[in-house]
Amino acid sequence: MSVAIVGAAECDLGHTGLSTQHLLAQAVARALDDAGLRVCDVDGIATTGHGRFPATQLADQLGLCPSWTDSTAAGGAVFEMYVARAAQAIEAGQCSVAVIAFASNQRSARSRNIGGGYDAATPEAQFEQPYQPLWPLSYYAMTAQRYLHTYRLDRSDLARVAVAAREHALRNPTAFRHAAGPLTVDEVLAAPMISSPLGALDCCLVTDGGGAIVLTSLDRARHLAKAPVRVLGYGESVTHAAMATPDDLLSTGAAASGARAFARAAVRPEEIDVIQLYDSFTVSVPLGLEQLGFCPPGAGVHWAGVPVNTTGGGLSYCHPGQLGVLLLVEAVRQLRGECGARQVEGAATALVHGTGGIASSHATVVLGVR
Amino acid sequence: MAEIPEDEVTAPWWDATRSRQLMVQRCARCGLAQLPPRVLCTGCGSAAPRLEPVTGRGVVDSYTVIHRAPDPAVAVPYTVARVRLAEGPILLTALIDVTEPRCDLPVTLAWRPLPDGRALPVFTTEE
């Protein structure tokens, strides 16, 4: 493949007091600055999560008339999907410089609802909402319950995922929990129960934040500010919208999505140096590692391989509602060697896996600098 | 809670709940049973699968006990579950009077009446 990521940046994170439009423009400006490009160089825009026509809105905000846009809505995995679509648009000549961006001020605006909010036009409003599940939390809780039952594990096995995320956050100055100190398994187990077996500390943060990445052709990338990070492969899988649809909670779209990305990249799981894997809830990490082929079913809780979620992840770094773009930002930084205390030494190949909705949509990207 | 919506595809299924009858759709061509009611069979794409009654027996696939309700008027804790019917389809539902829920627990159909005469299928343990 002949497309590279040439710019990557976060907007302000945490509790910003800023508007979403402000944070979005900030993310785009910083990512372009990182690439050594200007707003007027951009002719492709992909974004979601704000307004009825998100990419159109962002183009207007930036004063651009792009030749390619994408506002596919698929939850937090969509940014990995945008990488595939942007790479295809660049290779097809539809645009030359594409920006993928997301921002949310959900913590400042207090706009997050634990019930999620059902659209009355969907079957779920008839067959799901009447039972008052938390959305998406209760779906992941039922997945966790089945996971613990099947592999004869207990809550402490999942709690260690939150503990590991905190250890990474302590090495990341931008992490929401950077100054919070280490977390213990006992603290995770003692946190208020929300939707069993998941307690408050098994769940991702609710913060402001976002980021942007910039893609262009590999030829053009060679003349820009930083070493290009190549898009080696991508894959995706969309499996369900309703909590009752999947036959097996422990068999997710990550398996097909990952297999497609590995095949396209001609890379094997054991060749990956660092993993950014959407940790909406603690259970998402071991199950994701298993489904992506890094370890056998049930072994994800004992993972001792390459580092996962070096920022501290959604659990301890930042979770602005859709984490996918920030997984890409961190992968780019790791591959460039920019991560300071949390740098994975010699990282040359990264896997990014996004998940959206209730494990509904999965998208995987393999990046590399070799 | 606001009145639960229905539409022309699902109305016959909801009507059956008025006589406390739980239905699934069964495809005349491929035989697949499915829920919720849809326009097409998810097995073979055939139109208009017919409704048929089920035994009301099932097994808990998984469950979660919710301690913080989306609607503050709802009393906590309560138990939401995925129940796999003997006929195959999985329902999102509630477990009622199940003191020790667990995965793979056999359960049977019960009903929670709605103010408009319809009822929600829920599940409980066999006594």
In this predicted model, what pLDDT tens digit does every residue of A23-45 receive, in sequence order? 999 999 999 999 999 999 999 99
pLDDT bracket for residue B1 (50, 70, 90): low
- Give DSSP secondary structure letters for A86-112: HHHHHHTTS-SEEEEEEEE-HHHHT--
Mark yes or no for CB contact B67/A131 under 8 Å. no
Q: Establish if B4 belongs to a structural domain.
A: no
Angle at which helix A284-291 crosses helix A137-151, to 10 degrees, equals 70
B24, B92, B93, best to mutate vs chain A, most A CBs in 10 Å: B92
Percent of chain B with pLDDT strictly greater than 90: 92
> Which tokens hold the place of A278?
């959407």
* H or E element that contains A362: strand A361-368
Do residues A49 and A102 make contact, with C-beta atoms less than 8 angstroms apart? yes
**Per the structure, how many domains does chain B have?**
1
For residue B5, is it within any domain?
no
Residue B60 lies in a domain: yes
Given pLDDT bands bounded at 50, 70 and 90, which one contains residue A109?
very high
Task: For Cα atoms A143, B84, A76, give the angle at the middle one, nearest 5 degrees.
Answer: 30
Q: State pLDDT tens for residues A188-220.
A: 999 999 999 999 999 999 999 999 999 999 999
Tell which residue, A112, A145, A139, A88, has the closest CA to residue A244. Answer: A139
Contact A145 B62 (CB under 8 A): yes
By three-state DSSP, how is residue A158 classified?
Answer: helix
Q: Which domains does chain A have, with CATH numbers?
A: 3-109+206-368 (3.40.47.10)
For residue A115, what pLDDT band results from cuts at 50, 70 and 90?
confident
Given a contact cutoff of 8 angstroms between Cβ atoms, the answer to whether B99 and B72 are in contact is no
Q: Which of A126, A132, A138 lies at the smallest CB-CB distance from B6?
A: A126
Contact between B120 and A130 using a beta-carbon 8 Å cutoff: yes
- Asked whether residue B73 is assigned to any structural domain, the reply reads yes
Q: Which residue among A113, A142, A193 sits closest to B70, beta carbon to beta carbon?
A: A113
| CA-based nearest distance B101→chain A, Å | 11
CB-based contact B65 A128, cutoff 8 Å:
no
Of A130, A135, A196, the CB nearest to B65: A196
Mutate to test the interface with B, among A119, A145, A247 (most CBs of B within 10 A): A145
Instruction: Mutate one of B9, B60, B64, B74 to test the A interface: name it (highest A CB count within 10 A).
Output: B64
Query: Which residue in chain B has the smallest CA separation from A124?
Result: B36
Rounded Cα distance between A20 and A24, Å, is: 6
The arithmetic mean of pLDDT across residues A136-140, rounded, is 97
Residue A249 with chain B: CB contacts under 8 Å: 61-62, 82
Q: For residue range B57-108, list pLDDT tens digits in order.
A: 999 999 999 999 988 889 999 999 999 999 999 999 999 999 999 999 999 9
Given a cut of 90, whether residue B25 has pLDDT beyond it is yes
Cα distance between residue B29 and residue A36, in whole Å: 61
Task: For residue B71, tell me if it sits in a domain.
Answer: yes
Distance CA A23, CA A102 (A): 8
Structure tokens at B89: 């389809």
Other CB atoms closer than 10 Å to residue A272's CB: what's the count? 23
Q: How far is A168 from chain B (nearest CA, A)?
A: 29
* CB-CB under 8 Å, A242 with B10: no
How much is the ipTM here?
0.97
Say which of A126, A142, A245 has its CB closest to residue B10.
Answer: A126
| DSSP code string of A233-256 | EEEEEE--SSTT--S-TTS-THHH
Rounded mean pLDDT of chain A?
A: 97
Burial class, A205, CB count within 10 angstroms (exposed 0-12 / middle 13-18 / buried 19+): buried
Please spell the DSSP secondary structure of B55-123, one letter per residue.
Answer: --EEEEEEEEEESS-SSTTS-S-EEEEEEEETTS-EEEEEE-S-SS--TT-EEEEEEEE-TTS-EEEEE
Contact A355, A75 (CB under 8 A): yes
User: Per the domain annotation, does B3 fall within a domain?
Assistant: no
For position A226, what pLDDT does the model report? 95
Q: Which of A135, A167, A168, A202 is nearest to A276 (CA)?
A: A168
Q: SS3 for A285? A: helix
User: What span, in angstroms and rounded, lies between the C-alpha atoms of A22 and A13?
Assistant: 12
Place of tokens 């804790």: B77
Residue B89 lies in a domain: yes
Taking an 8 Å cut-off on Cβ atoms, the answer to whether B35 and A196 are in contact is no
Q: Do B82 and A242 touch (CB under 8 A)?
A: no
Q: What is the mean pLDDT of residues A4-9?
A: 98
The answer, yes or no, to whether residue A166 has pLDDT greater than 90, is: yes
Q: Judging by beta carbons within 10 Å of its beta carbon (0-12, 13-18, 19+), is residue A359 exposed, middle or buried? A: buried
Domain that holds residue B72: 11-124
Q: Domain for residue B33, yes or no?
A: yes
**For A309-365, how does the pLDDT look when each residue is reduced to its tens digit (9 = 90+)?**
999 999 999 999 999 999 999 999 999 999 999 999 999 999 999 999 999 999 999
Q: Which residues of A touch B5 (CB under 8 A)?
A: 120, 125-126
